[in-house]
Structure 1
Amino acid sequence: MKRLITVVGVFVCLFLFFVSSRVYADALKIGLMGPMTGPWASEGQEMKQVLDIMVDEINAAGGVNGQKVELIVEDDGGDPRTAALAAQKLVTQGIVGVIGTYGSSVTEATQNIYNEAKVIQIANGSTAIRLTEKGLKYFFRTCPRDDEQARVAVKTIKDMGFKKVAILHDNTTYAKGLADEARGLLEKEQGIEIVFFDALTPGEQDYTAILTKLKGANPDVVFFTGYYPEAGLLLRQKKEMKWEVPFIGGDATNNPDLVKIAGADAAAGFYFLSAPLPKDLPGEEAKAFLAKFSEKYGNPPNSIYAVLAGDGFRVLIKAIQETKSTDPDVLADYLHNKLKDFPGLTGTISFNEKGDRVGEVYRVYKVNEKGEFILMP
């Protein structure tokens, strides 16, 4: 009897292993590449939280074309070399597409890997212009480009009446590209002078030397095109120097950690450009999703880039559903030519022939005395 029970038990285990293996093999695998660790970890972690909710919703409703969705996550650490390794790992796991990543230089390190593997890549925070000037068939992004951001920055500087402008970047693909684009536009404006153009080294803890050089140029405003960790330190140390010049940041400064790093007093009065923050998304579907996110995690998402990752996931799923295919050429053709005004959480989404999102997205925000991000009229 014991032997019979043992034999039956073995067969049951083998059956369950076979079934689970078939389910795993038949799953629709979507990759997520983001900074789960490193200086931008809060961005990557929220990206995963957003996609976890969406995957659970889809699977609870029966999956996509009869397949359950499996999310495969790889950490790029906000580092190009780590990202290249993450991309190489993802393309060996049978993924249909990948969502991410956040930083432009990090995305750039992975583009050719995904393109050569014929894997659809939809970036969510990588705004550098040159990413979509390469003619890569399988690359898309739900975030806008830096040439649009530069136009909004220059308009903001003009509208505020600033005449002497300092531009500070960090030599990354995103920050240098945005700085160059803004400089080119400002140089065409009569009555505006660029009095400073230079870079800092990201990751340092003391920026008083570069701030002293900036102060010596006597600008009316500083346009900083780098990321929020450095922006927070610049604001804090500028406050310690008792230098009151206003700062405007690019969209990579849009993160609540900026206020944590700078302190609310030092961050107050800081302006930045961004797609609308999650709290300012007007659509009912967006509000419903934010409520669901809050119910699960205790608060709404802080970052719009996490929601943009969600929109990338949603358009990829839409393409698979509508084409009933996972063929990368079929999906790329659908996204380029047939997806029109998809109702994304961040607004309607269409892509042009380069894979860029069509339409204006950027807004201007100001940090108030409480450290809150307030949408400017």
Structure 2
Amino acid sequence: MTSVNTNRAFTNLAAALLLCSAASAQTANSQTINIGAITSLTGRFATFGKMQKAGFQVAIDEINAAGGLDGQKVKLLLEDDASDTNKALAAAEKLLNQKVPLIIGSYSSGITKPLSQYMARQNVPLLVATAVDETITKPGNAYTFRVNNQSSVYAQSLLTFVKNQNAQTPGSIKSVAVLTSNDAFGKSVYTDLTTLFAKAGLQVVAKDTYDQGLTDFRPILNRYKALAPDAVMIASYEQDAVAVAKQIKEVGLKPKFLAGIATGFALPNFLTGAGSAADNMLVAMVWNADVTYPGAKNLETRLKKALGGEAPSQHAAQSYAAMLAAAEAIKVGGNDPEKVREALTKVNLKTAFGPVNFRDYGGYQNQNAVVGLVTQVQAGQFVTVAPASAAKGKLVEPK
């Protein structure tokens, strides 16, 4: 009998310990709020993914240092899409199985567009931090919200710059050549540039796209040299941006203004990779370390630390703002995706990236309005030169 009672006691003790362990785990989980995100940690977009990861983590550290969300710590569930659409969709399914009420992602437009469509079918919000393809939010859908700008912001900021130059020196820029990558991002920019500049009365003397993998741009650039456009505008990813800039210098193409459209041109790696070929080049972007938004300099310092000393690009700042917006919506909506979606429609934040307020306008749905900047590469740094309200330096005209 004693042996039976002893075994029974051990059994009861083990059961009690299991119950305590389960209760403890449940308590721990209830004190943590998971936010899902997808980006390209590997593959051709890995440099951008690294920037996004830093932005996410800096925002989460800031939120948790301030006490979390109503006392609950925020945890990042980050998935790698390996720069591949199918892997991004699989990553989204994995995160949804973990019951996240929202997902931030992905980096590129080509991946983000189908991801937004998938998330809308699941009735779970997708918060876009970096992808710029116009069609992601125009017409968009009720479950897709974009913190960053649409591609036309880049084209419009460069067009405004050109108009200002022509106002100061009438007729100084009459013709433009356009070269973009042949993907969702490039096609969107291509449409914006060729359409807006033509409507403004400028002559688009050349408009070209190139496929991924092209390394020799010299035949295109030599054709541009013969056409002698006043301005050349290019949209490329990381490796392409450096190659194009170097080959422009090599063939002796010397437009009055050479402009890159964010993405690869906005990375610190472009400055080091292109070297002197980047001198005086214009780069359209929406965030630079010299912006005047409150806290921007402090954000740059924290992002740089998170990147191991590397200077942050706009992609890190955009992702930081996206995480703040996600946390704000989850604070209101909890773990209910529909309530989080509703909360996103009411988000109104002032961040070091800029204001975040999703609204419908001009055919866009759930789109944040972002101010476009024109920077110039001066002494190996991006210096904001337009618009005048944001300029931190004077334009250096190429000789």
Scaled to the shorter chain, the TM-score interval is: 0.7 to 0.9
Please tell me whether residue 331 in structure 1 is matched to residue 340 in structure 2.
yes
In structure 2, what is the Cα distance between the partners aligned to 1:9 and 1:59? 36
The match for 2:60 among 45, 49, 55 is: 55
Indicate if the aligned counterparts of 1:99 and 1:121 stay in contact, CA closer than 8 A: yes
Alignment of 1:195 with 2:205, yes or no, is yes
CA contact (8 A) 1:169 1:175 kept: yes
C-alpha contact 1:235 1:267 (8 A) present in aligned 2: yes
Task: Answer yes or no: is 1:145 the counterpart of 2:187.
Answer: no
Distance 2:157 2:58 in 1: 33
**Is it true that 1:270 corresponds to 2:281 in the alignment?**
yes
8 Å CA contact 2:225, 2:252 repeated in 1: no
1:1-377 paired onto structure 2 within 5 Å:
15-16=20-21, 19-20=24-25, 23-24=28-29, 27-160=32-165, 161-190=172-201, 192-245=202-255, 246-252=257-263, 253-262=265-274, 264-277=275-288, 279-295=289-305, 297-299=307-309, 301-321=311-331, 323-336=332-345, 338-340=346-348, 342-353=349-360, 354-358=365-369, 360-368=370-378, 370-376=379-385, 377=391
Name the larger-Rg structure: 2
C-alpha RMSD of the superposition = 2.8
Q: For residue 348 of structure 1, what is the amino acid of its counterpart?
A: P
Q: Distance in 1 between matches of 2:272 and 2:180?
A: 21
Contact 1:124 1:306 (8 Å CA) reproduced? no
Structure 2 Cα separation of the partners of residues 300 and 257 of structure 1: 9
Residue identity opposite 1:334 in structure 2: A
113-122 or 323-332: bigger deviation: 323-332
Q: AA paired with 1:339?
A: V
- Seen in structure 2, the aligned counterparts of structure 1 residues 290 and 152 have a Cα distance that, compared at 3 Å, is closer
Does the Cα contact within 8 Å between 1:150 and 1:181 map onto a contact in 2?
Answer: yes
Instruction: Assess, with a 3 A threshold, how the Cα gap between structure 1 residues 287 and 187 changes in structure 2: closer, same or farther.
Output: closer
Contact kept? 1:36, 1:76, Cα under 8 Å: yes
Q: What is the Cα deviation at residue 84 of structure 1?
A: 2.6
Query: 1:280 is paired with a residue of what secondary structure?
Result: coil
Distance 1:374 1:138 in 2: 36
Distance 1:345-1:236 versus aligned 2 partners, 3 A rule:
same
Residues 148-186 of structure 1 show CA distances to partners (whole Å, capped at 9, x for unaligned) of 322222222333432121111112112111211221122
Q: Is the 8 A contact 1:164 1:193 kept in 2?
A: yes
Which residue type is aligned with residue 341 of structure 2? A
Deviation at 1:273, TM superposition (A): 0.6
> Hey, what's the Cα distance between the residues in 2 that align with 1:56 and 1:116?
32
CA displacement 1:88-133 (0-9 Å, x = unmatched): 3322221121122222112112111211222221111111111112
Segments of structure 2 that go 5 or more residues without pairing to the other structure are 1-6, 166-171, 386-390, 392-399
Cα distance between partner residues in 2 of 1:152 and 1:286: 21
Q: Deviations over 1:184-222 (max 9, x none)?
A: 1222233x2111011112233322232233333332221
Distance 2:326 2:381 in 1: 33
Partner of 1:187, secondary structure, is helix
**Distance in 1 of aligned mates of 2:319 and 2:20:** 38
Structure 1 unpaired stretches of 5+: none
Share of identical aligned residues, percent?
25
Residues 1:73 and 1:185: Cα distance change in structure 2 (over 3 Å): same
Q: Secondary structure at the match of 2:130?
A: coil
Secondary structure of 1:148's counterpart equals helix
TM-score (norm 2): 0.83
Q: Over residues 61-82 of structure 1, what are the superposed CA-to-partner deviations in whole Å (9 max), with x where a residue is unaligned?
A: 5432343322111112333333
Checking the alignment, whether the CA contact within 8 Å between 1:39 and 1:229 is kept in structure 2 is no
Normalising by structure 1, report the TM-score: 0.87
Aligned partners of 1:135, 1:108: CA distance in 2, in Å? 9
